[in-house]
């Protein structure tokens, strides 16, 4: 498991090809989700000061939903993951999400694009159901403090 540092990624990949031929590549959920959301999603006050708390709760809910795909006890089969992913996109498109965004559809569109273009594209590196039968520690973050 590694974070998004390209140099670290390349060094680990080269090492795995040569020495750890049965190892598999993983991604750090904390870097992918929390740091990615901070970088790519509208901030706390984007929905207006009166909706700041609701918007923050919405983003926290989306991040926790994404983490659930990475951890044991949540999406443990492909079908469960597909259903959860569909429900997440419905939630992002829901009326309650729009209220949290202060009626600003573009905020929800940005979150949806982030999930599609930055998180789901890496699904082969973090989905629990894909790695649950492999010998692993079943962590979704690379460090305890993250």
**Domain range enclosing 61:** 6-131
Is residue 140, in this structure, part of any structural domain at all? no
Matching residue, tokens 């670290």: 8
What would the DSSP string read from start to end of 28-86?
-HIIIIIIHHHHHS--TTTT-GGGHHHHHHHHHHHHHHHHHTTSTTS--SHHHHHHHHH
**HSE (CB half, 13 Å, CA atoms) of 131?**
23
**pTM score, whole prediction:** 0.79
Is residue 93, in this structure, part of any structural domain at all? yes
pLDDT tens, the chain, 146 aa long: 555 566 776 787 777 778 777 766 667 788 889 999 999 999 989 999 999 999 999 999 999 999 999 999 999 999 999 999 999 999 999 999 999 999 999 999 999 999 999 999 989 888 989 888 766 555 555 555 44
Is residue 141, in this structure, part of any structural domain at all? no
């Amino acid at each position: 498991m590694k974070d998004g540092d390209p140099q670290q990624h390349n060094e680990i990949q080269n090492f795995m090809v040569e020495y750890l031929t049965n190892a598999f590549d993983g991604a750090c959920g904390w870097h992918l989700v929390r740091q990615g959301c901070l970088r790519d999603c509208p901030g706390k006050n984007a929905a207006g000061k009166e909706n700041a708390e609701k918007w923050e709760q919405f983003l926290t809910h989306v991040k926790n939903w994404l983490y659930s795909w990475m951890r044991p006890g949540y999406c443990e089969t492909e079908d469960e993951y597909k259903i959860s992913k569909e429900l997440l996109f419905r939630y992002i498109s829901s009326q309650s999400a729009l209220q949290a965004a202060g009626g600003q559809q573009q905020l929800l569109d940005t979150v949806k694009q982030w999930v599609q273009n930055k998180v789901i594209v890496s699904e082969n590196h973090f989905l629990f159901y894909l790695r649950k039968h492999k010998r692993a520690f079943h962590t979704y973050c690379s460090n305890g403090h993250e």
